[in-house]
Structures are given as structure tokens and as C-alpha cells.
Structure 1
Amino acid sequence: MMKLTRRNAMLSAGAFASAAILPQRSFSDVISANEKVNVAWCGVGNRGPRIIENFERSGIANFVAFCDVDPENKHINATKEKFPKARIFQDWRKMLDEMDKDIDAVVVLVPDHSHFPISMAAMAAGKPVYTEKPLARTFQEIELLMAAEKKYKVATQMGNQGHSGDNYFQFDAWLQSGVIQDVTHVDAYMNKWRRWHPWGDVKAMPTGESAPATMDWELWHSATPQHAFSKKFHPGNWRGWYQHGTGCFGDWGAHILDTIHQFLDLGLPEKVSATTLIQPNDLVYPLASTINFQFPERSGMPAMDIDWYDGVENLPPMPEEFAGRTYDAGTPGKFIYGKDTVFQGGSHSTTLEILSKEKRESLEANGLQTSFGKHSDHYENFLRACRGDEQTRSPFSVSGPLSQVLVLGCIAQRLGGELDFDRQSKRFTNSDRANELLADHPRKGWEQYYAL
């Protein structure tokens, strides 16, 4: 197994490796069907303890190590008490090196800008990886993650947990039975307030604060340029910055568009347009945005487009079939316009609703499927894939192209205007600046993670 070293040459920003759906490696020769999976955990702040509980609920996870750049934060201190036998690390590189033989799988629950190197290093070491959404912050990094999945043949899962819920099985069943057909347009929306909205017109990176004494602030940056500490970055505020996060769209698009993207075989768009940008900024995401994505005909399905709406007052248009209902701007979701049928859906595992009462009653009279069985949840699905019992539902080969759509939208939010995209070459055809944003150049000492 090839190890990542600083001697590996860095893959150039334009030389994207191709990614394809791959047969996932069976670990049944390493982990028996009755054994627990030894899990190493990266990132224990904020939502960490809750996601740990979700993995723990499966009954087949054994937590052997926890890693956080601040190993004395309140979340990891509580985790230490709960799992006293687990080893604690500050640097994930040291954890992977020292515990290689004791780790069966790695969970990556860190800020977006750090997903990539940890996931790449874990896969190169032969470890199955569960990585939060979106897979990475740049198009190139996602492309490399998909290529690494193919090369190293390990089980992978992106953390869009609704992709193992009822909406996943409903969308597949309704598409196969013809309930969903000829979709030509989707309006997707997330209109909740976001942390960076009150910051106004940000002119420069903030300065003047000190990082916690127990925190490795340099390591927190991962492969991105280092800057001064501020509470506007950590904890939790990193998502609003182009350097560190993917904004509202990267955060929520993976929970709202996932089944649409997979089952309608969308792949990559041929045009991305920022039709509305409220308070655009060079450093942080807009206060509100509307982004249009155009997709060509695919697999016998008609060309279609998606409009994404974020911002507290930037609401989508309401379908005629929605008349008389109350729109809840605090609940993210989508309207799907198919042949003779309009559907409303929420986020995560929320099932679709047929808006027309007459259409719904007609389909119900003809045996509309409304029960979709019992299945492992997203966390157990990953752990079972580590043992060779199941295939993951959101492997990088599936979640990677979805994540790439998300980061293309982030580029449109940053630049504005219409961007034409060549689905074959995976390059923009009308913007050199947009092509530059497809990849970042890692800072010194992190180049090796960009080589397969």
C-alpha cells in the first residue's frame, strides 16, 4: 500500500483524475461479521458528541481514538470521560501513524477546509472513511477523493445522513414506478439566518484575538494559508468564509438535493448562474443568493434546471398547487416540478408530498407505495460496509459529483454572472478566474496529500 509522503509529487491543479463508481472493498477478511469496528474520530467539537452517539447507537462501533486540535475543549473532555480507554490526540497525522494497526475506520468531522487531507491520508492507509458533507471545499479536492476511493478500494460514506432515510427509498421507488417522471425544474431553498449575516461588508480578515492556549491554531488551517485567530473563525463560524467553508449552499444542499441529484442522474451542470446576490463580498458568502444550474438531457430524461434560494427574505416562488397553504421559511426544502405532478419535500430524510389532492388520491387508489421498509441508518450502514455486510449509500462515487455541484455554486456566489461549464473537460469555458477557483495551491508541507 502506497503511503503519502512529502516526496510524492503534487498533482497539478488542472490535472484532474477521473472518478468512476467502484466496487467497494470487503473488509470481512479483517473484521468478522460479529466484531465491532474500531473507529478513530477526527473533530470532537460542536456536533461531535451527538454524531458519536449516533454511531454508538448501532452497537457495532468501538471508539479507540479521538483527535481534536484543541484536546481540552469541553466536548472532548466529556468524551474522554465517556470513553476512558480511547487514546486522545491533537494531531491526526500522529494518530494515524501510531495507531495504524488498531484502527479499522476513520470519521472526519472537522471544518470543510480540513476534510480533504485527513480523508486522503486515511484512504491511503487502507482505512474506510466517513467524511462530513460536503466532501471537500474545492472541485479538485473532491476529484482527488473520488480517484483515491477508486485506487484504494475502501468503503466510503459522506455524512449527508438523510441519504439512508425514507426519502432515499421513496425517491427510488417512485421514480421506478413512474410516480416521478420528466422532472424539468426544481426550486430548492434554505432561508434560515446564518452566522455571518450580521458582519456586514467584510474588508479584511479579523485580528487582535488569541487562540486558546490548548489549541494548535497552525494545524487548524490544514492546507490553507495561516492567518490570525478570531472567534469569527472558531468555534463554528468558519463556514461563512470562502477560505474555510462552503456557506449555506454547501452546508444544506447536500441534505436537500441529494436524492434529486443521484436518481435523476444529474452529474455536473453545463451552466451555473448567480441570478441574485445580496451583499456580495470578497471574503465571506453573500447575505442572500439565487443560483441557477442547468443540466442537459440524460438517460432519456429531459433537460432540467435547479434554482437555489438562500437568505432570510429570498424566498422561492410558490407553486399553484400550494395555494392556501402557509410557507414556513424556517424549514428548508424543495419543490419538484415533474410531468403533471408537483412535489414538495424537506431536507434530510423527509419524504415527498404530492401537492395536488386530486393527483394524490388518484395515485393512492392505484396502489401508491407509501411504506419503504426498515433499513440501517447512515451510521450503521457505513459500519456494516466496513465489515463487508452492506454497500454504503453515499460513497464518494455518488456524493462526490453532488459535492462538486455544490462547490460550483459557491464559485458562482463568489464571482456572480453566468458561468459556462464543460461537463467533459470539467472546466469553465468563459472565465479564467472561475477555473482558478476550481483548485487551491496547498501551503508548504501539505503538498503530499494532493498526490495519489
Structure 2
Amino acid sequence: MPSHPISRRKFLAASALAASAAPFVRARAAGEPTDKVRVAVIGVSGQGAYSLGGVAKEDVVALCDVDESRATAARKQFPSAKFFTDYRKMFDGIAAGIDAVAVCTPDHTHAHAALAAIRRGKHVYCEKPLARTVQEVRLVTAAAAEHKVVTQMGTQIHAGENYRRVVEIVKSGLLGEIKRVHVWCHRRPNAGKKLPAPTPGVTFDTDVWLGPTPQEFFYANHPTWPHFHWRWWWGFGGGTLEDMGCHFMDLAHWALDLTSPTLVKATGSPIPGAENTVPEKLQVEYQYPARGSKPAVHLTWYHGETGPALDGKTTYKGFPDGVLFEGEKGQLVANYSQLQIMPDAFAKDFKAPEHSIPNSVGHHREWLDAIRGHGRPLCQFAYAGPLTESVLLGNASYQSGKELAWDAARGVVTNTKDANAYLECHARKGWELV
């Protein structure tokens, strides 16, 4: 990113912060100690409601949502929490009374809300993806390292038992050397053509919802657009890859210790008749370098079909979404809840290794416990940053129409400089991050 590059050294500098966090103890007004964390939640419906459940046993001191009509249930559940429609006003007013923040807004405001919290020294849980652009990812990750806050990205499946068993198998070496991985998700964007023009009756502040994104179009009063369909339009989201890539590619990144790719090439097809929307189907080739004694890895992402091929002809029964590890000795295919060893001749005598990764206490609980000085979150931003970056590079390749040679150390595409524009945050006035 030419204007504000952030080096890989700074990008990965946060790797041990959570483990070294000081024990968290706060005094009650009456003088008695408490280990309850004072949490603010930004975005309290939809996925935000799920996060509220994850922090419900803490001291929820603030709720923030641009749409008051969607915040009724949360306000009823936490009547003593202060309510805001603008997180900037929340921080201006009661920042001193907040220890930690959960960011559950649409993708295009993740970085802005997270940085507002981190720069005030607040611990942050941020839903996936960590940000909408690579530049934003690096700013957030560097800030978390600088301010030594405890972080967790909301890829909740990272806490799932099945993922942990898969990681144990892959890391054990029982499948042999792994150089090839396929990752697929059947979901297709369902936005299609632009929605009908909005009519009067908008119930919330569209300026705050838009945040950094220029107002080219915005259907504030549509029942689903500001709460879900935004993800199918550039400027707000990044389609199926940005929406689901951090979940499924997470397994490969974790099991194989992947960080940043060196080459990324995407091909896809747009939604017929659509305007400015994300691809209906997409295939992305990622080349990851060798890591110590581990070989280079070729990972392919596919979305829009129920298997690892955009023609729909390659499927694995029971795995409409999945991750396939091709080892020299055997193969493993997995999704959120199940795994299968292949081929049958190899699976017949296969014995899984002893458990080496403890089952999670819960994705939010990992973060909250680490704030108190116990353990560390496994999806902290030092890990989640390179994962999100890989996902976003796939979209940048599609948008630019070019294969990208990625220099992670410098944070730039080296073979086609015009593609760097797709990695930067082009914020409207008043919403600049740097």
C-alpha cells in the first residue's frame, strides 16, 4: 500500500501479548474487588445478539446500535447499560467506564470501531473479517500490538471441537507431507440486481451506518439491506469469500501454520445483470511459501458450488462446504462438525493422535479469561490478521483482474502496482483512519 505501508514485522508483533497480560482486577464502588469485565457491545442485533450472549455474565455497561428499532431486546436484557446510536459518542462520553469492546457491525466499519477502542486501551473482540481492506487489517493489528490489548476475532468455529481434532491430525504428520489444500463453500450471493429505490421512513442515522463508505447508494429502509444484504456489494462487504473465508480457510491456516501467500490469482463470474456486486462464483489460487521444514502449499478457494470445482462435478458426500487436505499418505476432508479420512484403504488402519489441543471454554470466554490474565485467545489479531489478509487478497485479485505477487514484508503488490488501490481504505471525509 503505497501511501501508508505497514511492515510485516509490525504486523506480526502482537503474537505474545495476550499471554503476558497482567491479571485483571477492578475495584467495586464499595471497595470490594471484582473480576467482572465492563463490556460495551457495538451492534447488538443479528451477530451482535450472539456476542451479547457470550459476554452476558460480565458487566455490560454500554450498548450501541444505529437502529434503535433493532436494539429493543438487548436494552430489555441489559436495562442498566447506557445506550448509544453512535459509538464515537459512546467513547467520548463513557470511555473511562469501559474495559473491553465487542465490535459486531458490518464489515466496512470493523476497523473504525476497533481502532477507536484500541487507541483508548480497550480490549477488543471483533467479528470476522478483521477489516474490509488489507490496509485496515494492518492498522488494527499494529495498534493492538502497540497498546498491548487482548484481542479475539469472531471466527467462533475456531473454538469448535472438530476443528481442533483436525488440526491435531494434520500437525501429527499422520497424513504425510501436505502440499495441496482445497477449501469450498456452497454459498452464492443473493443480492442480484439493485434493490428498489428507498422510500421515506428511515429509522436510523444513515451517516453513522455508512461510516467511511461513500454514499453511492444505500437502502436504509429495506428490511434486510442494512442488516444482511450489504455484504454482497463492494464498499460494504466482499461477498462469500470475505464473509466465509475466515471460517473455512482458518482450518488450513491453523493446521499448516500458514501466514501470508506470495501469489494470488482469482477467476470468477459476476451475478448476471447485477451492478457493482461481488462474484456469484469464485476460484482463488493461493501459493504459500515453505515454513521451516514444512513445504510450500498450494491452496484453492472455491465458492458457489458444493465441492472443489466451479463446474459442480466434484463433490464429497456430506460436505457441501469443506476443507480437503491432500497428504502424501492419506487425505482428510472436514467441515464444522465432522471429518473423514480417505481413502478407505488408509482409513481402515488409521488411528487419531492423542488430544494435544484442549477443548475451548468458549470463543468469547477465551478472550474474557485472557483479559483477566488466564490463558490466551487462539484467534488473537496477530493470528487473525494474516488470515484476513489472505482472504482480502483474493478479492483484490478478482477486482483488479490480475494475478498478484504479494510482498508481505512491505505490504505491497509488486507486479501490478494498480492493484494496490484495492488494498487501501478510501474513506470519505471525516472517517479517515490515518
Q: Taking structure 1 as the reference length, what is the TM-score of the superposition?
A: 0.85
Read off the aligned partner of 1:218 and give its amino acid letter: D
2:40 maps to which residue? 40
2:13 paired with 1:13:
no
Secondary structure of 2:39's partner? strand
CA distance in 2, matches of 1:212, 1:141: 33
CA distance in 1, matches of 2:2, 2:92: 27
Q: Structure 1 residues 51, 445: CA separation in 2 closer, same or farther (over 3 Å shift)?
A: same
2:67 maps to which residue? 70
Secondary structure of 1:407's partner? helix
Q: 2:419 aligns with which of 428, 431, 434?
A: 434
The 10-residue stretch of structure 1 (173-182 or 136-145) with the greater mean CA deviation from structure 2: 173-182
Read off the aligned partner of 1:243 and give its amino acid letter: G
Kept in 2: contact 1:184–1:303 (CA 8 A): yes
1:358 maps to which residue? 345
CA distance in 1, matches of 2:385, 2:394: 14
CA distance in 2, matches of 1:242, 1:261: 25
2:368 paired with 1:383:
yes
CA distance in 1, matches of 2:176, 2:98: 44
1:342 maps to which residue? 331
* 1:400-446 Cα shifts (integer Å, max 9, x gaps): 00000010011122233422222332221222221111102322112
CA distance in 2, matches of 1:278, 1:185: 27
Kept in 2: contact 1:187–1:307 (CA 8 A): yes
* 1:77-132 Cα shifts (integer Å, max 9, x gaps): 01111111111101101111222222111000000000011101101111100000
CA distance in 2, matches of 1:233, 1:430: 37
Read off the aligned partner of 1:45 and give its amino acid letter: S
Q: Structure 1 residues 83, 279: CA separation in 2 closer, same or farther (over 3 Å shift)?
A: closer
Kept in 1: contact 2:61–2:81 (CA 8 A): yes
Kept in 2: contact 1:211–1:229 (CA 8 A): no
Kept in 1: contact 2:51–2:102 (CA 8 A): no
The 10-residue stretch of structure 1 (36-45 or 401-410) with the greater mean CA deviation from structure 2: 36-45
Q: 1:443 aligns with which of 415, 425, 428?
A: 428
Q: Structure 1 residues 437, 180: CA separation in 2 closer, same or farther (over 3 Å shift)?
A: same
2:51 paired with 1:54:
no
* 1:1-40 Cα shifts (integer Å, max 9, x gaps): xxxxxxxxxx973422421224225252444896221110
2:390 maps to which residue? 405
* 1:121-169 Cα shifts (integer Å, max 9, x gaps): 1011111000000100000000111110110000000000111222443
CA distance in 2, matches of 1:110, 1:79: 15
1:184 maps to which residue? 179
Read off the aligned partner of 1:164 and give its amino acid letter: A
2:283 paired with 1:284:
no
Kept in 2: contact 1:164–1:378 (CA 8 A): yes
CA distance in 2, matches of 1:297, 1:282: 40
- Please list, as runs of the form range in 1=range in 2, the aligned pairs for 1:128-143 lying within 5 A after superposition: 128-143=123-138
Read off the aligned partner of 1:247 and give its amino acid letter: G
2:285 paired with 1:295:
no
Q: Taking structure 2 as the reference length, what is the TM-score of the superposition?
A: 0.88
* 1:352-382 Cα shifts (integer Å, max 9, x gaps): 3212233233232xx6436964431101111
- Please list, as runs of the form range in 1=range in 2, the aligned pairs for 1:166-205 lying within 5 A after superposition: 166-196=161-191, 198-199=192-193
1:8 maps to which residue? none
Q: Structure 1 residues 413, 327: CA separation in 2 closer, same or farther (over 3 Å shift)?
A: farther
- Displacement after TM superposition at 1:193 (Å): 3.6
Read off the aligned partner of 1:251 and give its amino acid letter: D
Read off the aligned partner of 1:42 and give its amino acid letter: I
2:30 maps to which residue? none
Q: Structure 1 residues 441, 165: CA separation in 2 closer, same or farther (over 3 Å shift)?
A: same
Q: CA RMSD in A?
A: 2.7
CA distance in 1, matches of 2:186, 2:360: 31
Q: Which runs of 5+ in 1 are unaligned?
A: 1-10
* 1:272-302 Cα shifts (integer Å, max 9, x gaps): 1123435487721111111111112222111
2:210 paired with 1:221:
yes
2:327 paired with 1:333:
no
Q: Number of matched residues?
A: 419
2:118 paired with 1:123:
yes
CA distance in 2, matches of 1:92, 1:335: 41
CA distance in 2, matches of 1:193, 1:93: 34
1:3 maps to which residue? none
CA distance in 1, matches of 2:67, 2:41: 14
CA distance in 2, matches of 1:111, 1:302: 37
CA distance in 1, matches of 2:355, 2:310: 28
Kept in 2: contact 1:31–1:387 (CA 8 A): no
Q: Structure 1 residues 284, 339: CA separation in 2 closer, same or farther (over 3 Å shift)?
A: same
Read off the aligned partner of 2:303 and give its amino acid letter: D
Secondary structure of 1:413's partner? helix
Read off the aligned partner of 1:148 and give its amino acid letter: A
Secondary structure of 2:295's partner? coil
- Please list, as runs of the form range in 1=range in 2, the aligned pairs for 1:228-239 lying within 5 A after superposition: 228-230=217-219, 231=222, 233-239=225-231
Kept in 2: contact 1:13–1:440 (CA 8 A): no
Q: Structure 1 residues 289, 317: CA separation in 2 closer, same or farther (over 3 Å shift)?
A: closer
Secondary structure of 1:259's partner? helix
- Displacement after TM superposition at 1:327 (Å): 5.2
Kept in 1: contact 2:213–2:235 (CA 8 A): yes
Kept in 1: contact 2:62–2:82 (CA 8 A): yes
2:17 paired with 1:23:
yes
